[in-house]
């Protein structure tokens, strides 16, 4: 099956620093990737759609200046949490849509962000 | 608010038993998907059922869709300890593959 990776899997940072999370589709191309966040024991909430070659589109209530998204190639999207604060601590998960089968999203393993 | 909503269940069953969980949604859909998430991990796609389908099977999984009631169910037959996970339904609520997830059902299968 299609594989999506995320890096890093875990990150701990100090308040005020920025953290970059990478999402890669390893064996397929994806013009569209999505970023979700998940709080403990809760569901996934869609944050934004990452579009290759164009600006990301953000869901209502998500600060675009806080969560910078760059989709530089057909296999890589990055999410940068800028000036992170403890309330940004969460599990961030990306997904990618295979160009050859747009019905299914393939999810990365997630990144656990802890802001001290 | 999220589109898909499971009954907030935490199921604890013995290995070999069947596990059933439900999901309801609010507006019309093109398809509904079920995912599994092991603790602290990403999601694994289990099955997709389209709006014109009523039932679908995949191995030990059986999914039903009732568009008149705007609900779906996931049945896992002959459960195994490895089935212990959280299960989410998701719909293309926002359009363009932007998924809305339900609350999730935590299933624990006791060996």
Q: Which of A43, A59, A108 sits opposite B42 (nearest CB)?
A: A108
CB-based contact, A45 to chain B, within 8 Å = yes
pLDDT tens digits along A23-47? 999 999 988 999 999 988 888 999 9
Strands (E), chain A: 4-7, 10-13, 19-25, 32-38, 44-51, 57-58, 67-73, 76-81, 90-97, 105-107, 111-115
Q: Is A2 within 8 Å of A101 (Cβ atoms)?
A: no
A46 and B100 in contact by Cβ < 8 A? Answer: yes
Written as one string, the DSSP assignment of B15-81 is: TTS-EEEEEE-SS--SEEEEEEE-TTS-EEEEEEEETT-SEEEETTEEEEEETTTTEEEEEE-S--G
Q: Which of A42, A97, A112 sits opposite B97 (nearest CB)?
A: A97
A42 and B98 in contact by Cβ < 8 A? Answer: no
Positive or negative torsion for Cα A70, A23, B35, A9 = negative
Q: For residue B9, list chain A residues with Cβ-Cβ distance below 8 A.
A: none
Residue in this structure with the two tokens 């998924």, named with its chain if needed: B99
Q: What is the pLDDT along chain B (111 residues), one digit of tens a residue?
A: 334 555 557 889 999 999 999 998 888 888 999 999 998 888 999 999 999 999 999 999 999 999 999 999 999 999 999 999 999 999 987 778 889 998 889 999 999
Residue A61 has pLDDT above 90, yes or no: yes
CB-based contact, A77 to chain B, within 8 Å = no
């Amino acid at each position: 099956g299609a594989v999506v990776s995320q890096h890093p899997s875990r990150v701990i940072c100090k308040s005020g620093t920025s953290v970059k999370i990478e999402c890669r589709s390893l064996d397929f191309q994806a013009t569209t990737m999505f970023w979700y966040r998940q709080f403990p024991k809760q569901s996934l909430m869609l944050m934004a759609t990452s579009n290759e070659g164009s600006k990301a589109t953000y869901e209502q209530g998500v600060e675009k200046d806080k969560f910078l998204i760059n989709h530089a190639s057909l296999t890589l999207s990055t999410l940068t949490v800028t000036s992170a604060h403890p309330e940004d601590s969460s599990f961030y998960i990306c997904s990618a849509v295979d160009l050859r089968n747009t019905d299914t999203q393939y999810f990365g393993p997630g990144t656990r962000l802890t802001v001290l | 608010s999220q589109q898909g909503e499971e009954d907030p269940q935490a199921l604890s069953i013995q290995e070999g038993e069947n596990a059933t969980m439900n999901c309801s949604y609010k507006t019309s859909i093109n398809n509904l998907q079920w995912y599994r998430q092991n603790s602290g991990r990403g999601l694994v796609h289990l099955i997709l059922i389209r709006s014109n389908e009523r039932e679908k099977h995949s191995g030990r999984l059986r999914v039903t869709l009732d568009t008149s009631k705007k609900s779906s169910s996931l049945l896992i037959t002959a459960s195994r300890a490895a089935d212990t996970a959280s299960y989410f339904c998701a719909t293309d609520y926002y359009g363009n593959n932007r998924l809305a997830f339900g609350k999730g059902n935590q299933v624990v299968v006791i060996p």
